Amino acid sequence: MSSKFAPLLAATNVHKTYRKGTNEVPVLKGVDLSLASGELVSIVGQSGSGKSTLLHLLGTLDRPDDGQIHFEGHRVDNLPPAGRDILRNRYIGLVFQFYHLLPELTTIENVLAPVMIRHSVWSYWMSRRKYRARAKSLLETVGLGHRLDHKPRELSGGEMQRTAIARALIAEPKLLLADEPTGNLDRQTGDEILEVLRRLNADHGLSIVMVTHDSAIAAGADRTVSLVEGRVQADKQAAA
């Protein structure tokens, strides 16, 4: 298939049902969603509407029961686990509501952790200056250039989320998937995190899918998609 004019990310007729014993919970019932390169899209919906489920499928953390996920025109939902791991490590950054920082590591070490894990000691050592410079620059981009050597317990919630965003970008992904990135923050700090995401999108061309139950945060995206009863209800263009 030609991928030249394909969207960066597309979900087609995606279904997902959770099964526990004889109990079936149908969550997604035919979701269609497409993201152009350079877009910032928000997905809104009530708690339990399947937002996290959809984001996990888009990020190949889980597989749909039916339907397909394409990334850069290539089908990815049916890749074997090792292939999905490579895709995720190289092309997709993930951010969650809880920051999942390692408490013993400093801010810059947390940002570097994914590359340290991915590379052998030797190859990390050979490229350490390049990676440290990139980590420092990312932390400056998210407004944390003055907190490189702090531990997570010395950071505010907003600063921890900024660190998690920088960590998600260390491998230079094409796509950032954020699940309730402001969900644990007060309004003003949430707005600041939204502003960080908007700047990464506008200035660095990063494509972003952001899940939120907060319509004020969602309105900061180029486009909002609503999940209702397992399907995408409407695409509304945000006012400029």
Binding residues for ligand ADP (CB under 6 A): 18, 20, 25, 27, 45, 47-53
Helices (H), 146-218: 157-168, 187-204, 215-218
Q: Which is nearer to Mg ion, 93 or 138 (CB)?
A: 93
- Cβ atoms of residues 181 and 12 within 8 Å: no
Return the half-sphere exposure (C-beta side, CA atoms, 13 A cut-off) of residue 99: 25
- Cβ atoms of residues 33 and 235 within 8 Å: no
Q: Which is nearer to Mg ion, 27 or 206 (CB)?
A: 27
Helices (H), 15-153: 51-58, 81-91, 107-118, 121-126, 128-141
**Which phi-psi region, left, alpha or beta, contains residue 80 (left: φ > 0; alpha: ψ -120 to 50)?**
beta
Shortest Å, Cβ 20 to ligand ADP: 6
Q: Which is nearer to ligand ADP, 21 or 103 (CB)?
A: 21
Shortest Å, Cβ 139 to ligand ADP: 29
Q: Which is nearer to ligand ADP, 143 or 183 (CB)?
A: 183
Q: What is the DSSP letter of 238?
A: P
Binding mask 50-69 for Mg ion (x = CB under 5 A): -xx-----------------
Q: Does 49 bind Mg ion (CB under 5 A)?
A: no
48 interface partner picked from Mg ion, ligand ADP, none, CB below 5 to 8 A per type? ligand ADP
Those residues whose C-beta lies under 8 Å from the C-beta of residue 178, and which sit 6 or more positions away, are: 94, 95, 96, 165, 197, 208, 209, 210, 211
State both tokens at 5.
């004019």
Q: Which is nearer to Mg ion, 138 or 227 (CB)?
A: 227
Beta bridge partners of 20: 23
53 interface partner picked from ligand ADP, Mg ion, none, CB below 5 to 8 A per type? ligand ADP
42 interface partner picked from ligand ADP, Mg ion, none, CB below 5 to 8 A per type? none
Shortest Å, Cβ 84 to ligand ADP: 18
Q: Which is nearer to Mg ion, 111 or 227 (CB)?
A: 227
Contacting positions for Mg ion (CB under 5 A): 51-52
